[in-house]
Amino acid sequence: MSLAESSRPRSDAADDAFWSDVDRHLVRYGARFTPEVIVRAEGSWVETEGGRRLLDFTSGQMSSILGHSHPEIVATVQRQVAALDHLFSGMLSRPVVDLARRLADSLPDPLEKVLLLTTGAESNEAAIRMAKLVTGGHEIVSFAGSWHGMTAAAAGATYSSGRKGYGPTAPGNFAIPTPNAYRPDFTTPDGAFDWKKQLDHAFALVDAQSVGSLAACIVEPILSSGGIIEPPPGYLAALQQKCRERGMLLILDEAQTGMCRTGTWYAFERDGVVPDILTLSKTLGAGLPLAAVVTSAEIEEEAAERGFLFFTTHVSDPLVAAVGNTVLDVLERDRMDERARVLGDRLRTGLLDLQDRHAVVGDVRGRGLLQGVELVLDRESKEGSDELGAGVTRRCLELGLHMNVVQLRGMGGTFRIAPPLTSSEEEIDLGVEILDRAIGEVSRELLG
């Protein structure tokens, strides 16, 4: 059955022709396409060709933290593209150096050296490449629920999806258990999640498999594709100590958690750790392709002395660097970290109310404006339901809310909720209201 036949209601001839072209000409690269043709977006809303307005509770691809078509970003793009858009990769411009300095100023010491790139996968690729060169090792550790990108090293450190059918990854990639307090694999006598025992066990397995060439551990401070899993307080510090003991670097991937989304500028601030290498993407460009690798002068110096090479077509591009500077302007001026905390508290209160009223809402988790809701068939067994998640997603779309469910088998009942930081209280409340209605209708339909 074609996409046009299976995913959308039939309409007029022009619409049919569009979806026929989709079926004939587009490579399918992941989840099903949303069965709507989007023609414009502004603020927290996207508009379909048919005139429907959809409240965007995913900030595009979890990126548009300032909403769609933010007027200051629009003005920056128009101004910058007319003056200086792209350069030979060995040339520098003021927007690039300004953004590097400002990112360094926003971070704790010793993070001060910046490499500006395009995507999260590319920044993680560069970070892993740098870690391997500096340490002389090649082995990389990451969470079993991780997602770090689709390029070689980033994909090798990604375990949540996409590993089968492509042949071997580079040798030396090790997965450790995701610290999921809702589904604990190690428990204390009273049934609480024993993350310390889990972490000890994880590195005992790493040590058993390592050939003595450990280079780095790369993790997300809050796993997104893994189901909005937040490691318990103290975990990241303990993980960093495990790395120190083995001569490994700690890389934190803040693609979705950086730039105020979690209520602080960077999610790692809660834990009192400073990574050896930090990667940023998605939120840094607020929807445009901008990413960064940030590290210490010591690590950068060692990498440079060893001939670090990451000479790409769009490294240090001035256009997106100018956008990044505008993003920082708005975040600083409008105190978006505080706004994300306040709106996040409002969103979480609404989601916890849904948990009180709907038996299928098993868990609510996350921080700031990055929240997760896991639907279950039974709270005691915690049995998930992809069918329930898919049904609620469809119903939300029908009611005017775009939601994102984790696209992994067995986790399709977990929602990733990440509205723009510019959302109004009314938009947050409306999204929760639509989700409430969708959960109620679909759970009654499927479960009686």
The helix (run of H) or strand (run of E) holding residue 55 is: strand 53-56
Query: Which of 267, 275, 26 has the alpha carbon at shortest distance from 131?
Result: 275
256 classed as catalytic: yes
The helix (run of H) or strand (run of E) holding residue 237 is: helix 235-245
113 classed as catalytic: no
Query: CA-based angle 122:127:131, to the nearest 5?
Result: 150
Residue 143 phi/psi, 5° resolution? -70, 150
Positions of E strands within 349-428: 361-367, 370-378, 383-384, 401-402, 404-405, 414-417
- Token digits for 277? 């290498």
Catalytic annotation, pick one of 122, 253, 337, 427: 253
416 classed as catalytic: yes
220 classed as catalytic: yes
Angle between helix 235-245 and 195-209 (nearest 10): 30
For residues 63 and 141, give the distance between their C-alpha atoms in angstroms, rounded to a whole number: 26
129 classed as catalytic: no
- Token digits for 160? 């949540």
**DSSP state for residue 162 in the 8-state scheme:** -
Catalytic annotation, pick one of 147, 348, 363, 395: 147
For residues 221 and 267, give the distance between their C-alpha atoms in angstroms, rounded to a whole number: 6
Provide Rg for the chain, Cα atoms: 22
Alpha helices in 141-186 (DSSP H): 152-156
Catalytic annotation, pick one of 198, 240, 256, 371: 256
The three-class DSSP label of residue 381 is coil
28 classed as catalytic: no
Query: Which of 205, 226, 213 has the alpha carbon at shortest distance from 146?
Result: 226
For residues 396 and 369, give the distance between their C-alpha atoms in angstroms, rounded to a whole number: 19
Catalytic annotation, pick one of 282, 339, 341, 367: 282
| Residues marked as catalytic | 147, 220, 253, 256, 282, 416
